[in-house]
Structure 1
């Protein structure tokens, strides 16, 4: 790193004299997935196992050039819940930026479910975004296409029998007849087959 250089996408050398370079790794994640204290803190034995995994993978010359190695504590339940709120808030802003005047109102039970199902000790909160897309965005997209939720309305999201449900605001009798209209189950299957379960409601 002393004699190396950083370049941008066009091959131009970047001056990194005043930069802090942050590198992340999943090495030792299998040890971090074990039970930890309720506050998410990692015990010294686990920290040493993670450090040994780093030493066994990287050359000493590389590790000696790193100023500091930080092992992050696991996320607590409260922190996961904050991430759920943040993700839902981001979705709301993206809807608004794409002229979708629809308010997402998720119940506390839904948020708790997303936090529990969307967090993995091995992968952290990364699966949460995919879970929200599958459980909320895809279902919301179907209801918008069917006219069951319209601009200016609120999309209420609840938990029923352990499943996330986006409630329609209009029944079939209130909507215009459409011979090609799919029911919810068929539409969800089509979405998942065509997009691997990830439909972008807002591009």
Structure 2
């Protein structure tokens, strides 16, 4: 059962998960607010979105964040990876193979049970890689809010949010981003900080019109181009990643304190503005999580001890020190 949420509560919850994408967050907040009131068109999905823009900026993460806000679990998402539907015969897997065809006895990928809950989030990832036959099915979802499986079962999407992601202009965006950062990690030096974002939006919309049929584009409620992540965004994302890492180690009984120098090291290692937040996540895994796990396995950490994470520039790494907790001292997770 999804509880009623106010717009500000939805907004703040999404901002804790998604950094630097206020336009996308506002679009989702509008759709969820209307859906919460029960005044959406009963013959259409609750909201339909197409997210475009640079890689690693949170397009797919927005779907998981919305599921977390609505259902308390970011994994309560029905994900359709469109790379699995590149050929016409593969599209039948989505709703089941027709009678007489191989696989007719197999259940379809989407079943009534998967989308029966109110406010189900359905994601079609990398939309541009799908065979055109998939778009015929999507048109039915966007237009009528329903599909029928090969066995005649109705798939009701009128209680669903449909999120589609696309990297259709990835190469052009990468060229723009390389120009914007001049191959350097600091903030772009241009006088107009929004210049390149506007250029990316223009390129995305042109690619959209080249790649998708007008009748498909016109049925999407919100088309959002995600913005490039800048250094201040990556700093906030790093804090989020580190909070998650520390929480997982804490569950295993290992308290940690990460120094500002260690954070700066991870930010330097994980900053590549061409690829968004993904290199940062890899840096946390490579330089912090795996070495820290090795350290704990080798040295052990007692109940009244905490591991301090420090930078070790000469070795181009992080180093770890076990320190005693003072009486009454607490480890703050922030």
When normalised by structure 1's length, the TM-score is 0.67
RMSD: 3.1
CA separation of 1:116/1:15 partners in 2, compared to 1, >3 Å: closer, same or farther? farther
CA separation of 1:60/1:45 partners in 2, compared to 1, >3 Å: closer, same or farther? same
Q: Is the 8 A contact 2:140 2:147 kept in 1?
A: no
- Name the counterpart of 1:75: 229
CA separation of 1:62/1:104 partners in 2, compared to 1, >3 Å: closer, same or farther? same
Is 1:164 the equivalent of 2:317? yes
When normalised by structure 2's length, the TM-score is 0.43
Q: Give how far 1:126 is off.
A: 1.7
**Structure having the larger proportion of residues in strand:** 2
- Name the counterpart of 1:174: none
The 2-side partners of 1:7 and 1:164 are apart by 55
Q: Can you give the 5+ residue segments of structure 2 that lack an aligned partner in the other structure? A: 1-137, 181-187, 324-334
- Name the counterpart of 2:208: 54
CA separation of 1:39/1:125 partners in 2, compared to 1, >3 Å: closer, same or farther? farther
- Name the counterpart of 1:21: 162
The 1-side partners of 2:164 and 2:236 are apart by 24
**Residue-by-residue CA offset, 1:66-86 (whole Å, 9 max, x unaligned):** 222111211222221111111
Q: Is the 8 A contact 2:256 2:306 kept in 1?
A: yes
- Name the counterpart of 2:275: 123
Task: Give runs of aligned pairs for residues 1-203 of structure 1, distance below 5 A.
Answer: 1-4=138-141, 5=146, 13-30=154-171, 31=173, 33-34=177-178, 35=180, 41=194, 42-97=196-251, 100-147=252-299, 149-161=301-313, 163-169=316-322
The 1-side partners of 2:248 and 2:192 are apart by 33
Q: Can you give the 5+ residue segments of structure 1 that lack an aligned partner in the other structure? A: 171-203
CA separation of 1:44/1:117 partners in 2, compared to 1, >3 Å: closer, same or farther? same
CA separation of 1:43/1:87 partners in 2, compared to 1, >3 Å: closer, same or farther? closer
The 2-side partners of 1:140 and 1:26 are apart by 35
Q: Is the 8 A contact 2:270 2:280 kept in 1?
A: yes
The 1-side partners of 2:274 and 2:214 are apart by 26
The 2-side partners of 1:144 and 1:20 are apart by 43
- SS in structure 2 of the partner of residue 89 of structure 1: helix
CA separation of 1:29/1:110 partners in 2, compared to 1, >3 Å: closer, same or farther? farther
- SS in structure 1 of the partner of residue 322 of structure 2: coil
Q: Is the 8 A contact 1:87 1:129 kept in 2?
A: yes
- Size of the aligned set, in residue pairs, is 166
CA separation of 1:91/1:40 partners in 2, compared to 1, >3 Å: closer, same or farther? farther
**Residue-by-residue CA offset, 1:67-107 (whole Å, 9 max, x unaligned):** 2211121122222111111111111222233xx22222222
The 1-side partners of 2:283 and 2:177 are apart by 20
CA separation of 1:33/1:149 partners in 2, compared to 1, >3 Å: closer, same or farther? farther
The 2-side partners of 1:3 and 1:96 are apart by 47
The 1-side partners of 2:153 and 2:255 are apart by 45
The structure, 1 or 2, with the larger RCO (C-alpha pairs under 8 Å, 6+ apart) is: 2
